[in-house]
Structure 1
């Protein structure tokens, strides 16, 4: 028996035990003073109670509904004649109908109202005291309220499960977006740089400059090694997303060194770039530092794609509540560069997503600024 079916079978067992006590009470209490039909109808109410519980476990919904209606009706009509004992199957049936989210609430209310009417009718031939009848009716109302409580509890559980599913879907979607973003950054920087280097190697070999070609190959190898290291870091972050959040703060000197390495790599690829740092640097979280590195990396990759050979200006400005990276290069006359058509605009979109997802918030914008193309990325500080 699996853990998922165990609660249903446990409920069935408890119902059987309860039904046994009720049947024993109906048979053993004043049975000689009651008409035979009262005893028979009362036992039918108990038997249909047990059968309904079994059908509920086996998920036989239609049969369970019919048995619940029979149990409620037969139990209600003989409740006064059994000193209120037969009201128990009525309460159980009403509780089950009202508490079942798969059935309309109105059905349970109608069954409860009908049961009340049958109890009143059943009390007439036996001159049942009014107080006893009111107690039996109170039992039916108790079943209604218990069913409403169960219905609300099950609805809360259902909503909680739906919320968990949505959260899991969102986490999966965020992981997919993060993977696509990191893959784009790695491929755009590493493979794009390798294309530039290989083109340069081809050009210098045609010119017969073997030494320059050798230096270009060495630079290309270094770029590939850096790209592989970045890929490993990205994979590690995806395997353990919490590690980046829990990582120690990044010293501003280490960030400046990383940004300087990106500038140097851009120069090694034949580009021209300069980095200026303004303000008083402060430690950053690992996520903030990674976002700034990726922003400069993407900006330099875009410059190589769309404005090769044009000078790039990068400025890192520190303020009390934020740090801003501003990167710009002259607008190219056209998209005739070899790598101009290799992108799909995903890098800038990924940059915006990365900064928007920072714990303290951030933003990134890109577009023409006069005769220059500018990227501005801002990370808010505590």
Structure 2
């Protein structure tokens, strides 16, 4: 395994081991502590505790604790220059260089060097030891800076890898969307057009067979083929919409239903749109489409061959659709509404709308009004 990965995985353990460079020298001073040095050692120990929970939070905790640790450990070094006390200031310099700003880390290092100057002035160390200690401060500071730089490089590498993964995912998504758009274009330009032409040709063939008094079984097969072509055309358009992830406009969906009605019955079917068309939610759009579909189904059943007119109106108050078939005569009032229209009325009620049905001047009319 990569040593850097191992080091990062066991980083909390390593930080705790580094903290021992502070705790153990302080613990070794306990037998020789006086009231003054005991208070200073206690301050050093307490100020070192945030090193166990790096990065310390809130942000001001670590700079304050390292400043106090540097001052208290440097004071202990001056008061008791012999022993392991000197390890604590060097450890403090390492942490300051690694976790604090450059100015703050340099300030901690300068304070430790000041303690070394005091020791030299008091003749506690000779010039060689003083220079060695100053060099050690510089080396420890460089080690801390190197550790900090490596951590920053690792973070930048991880960030770059994350950005690269994101870019690769976005590129793959764009490629997939482009491929889906190509398939959708092929479906629309080839399959949908072919099915539309096939349905029209079958309609023409059916009319010619009717004119020539063809066998009813042949007519039934032609009509069945025509319905299959019409259904295939509808499914092809749905597939194109799904591939493009672009919902079909309500007026276009109604026009498709009327196209199927024209191909199936050979009767005229017209759509008029009033107002400015706008996107409609899934539930209202489904209710409108199912209502138009049910009205057309009833026309096929009760008035075969009747022409149909659908009026779709967009207003600030909502959406209104009216389906009227023209039978050429006034229809008889229905005793009860069928289950299909009854279900549509219940669906309209759930959306706060209203469905009304009844005879018109020369046919049957279904009207649905939904609020905005």
TM-score w.r.t. length of structure 2 = 0.49
Q: Which of 1 and 2 has greater Rg?
A: 2
TM-score w.r.t. length of structure 1 = 0.48
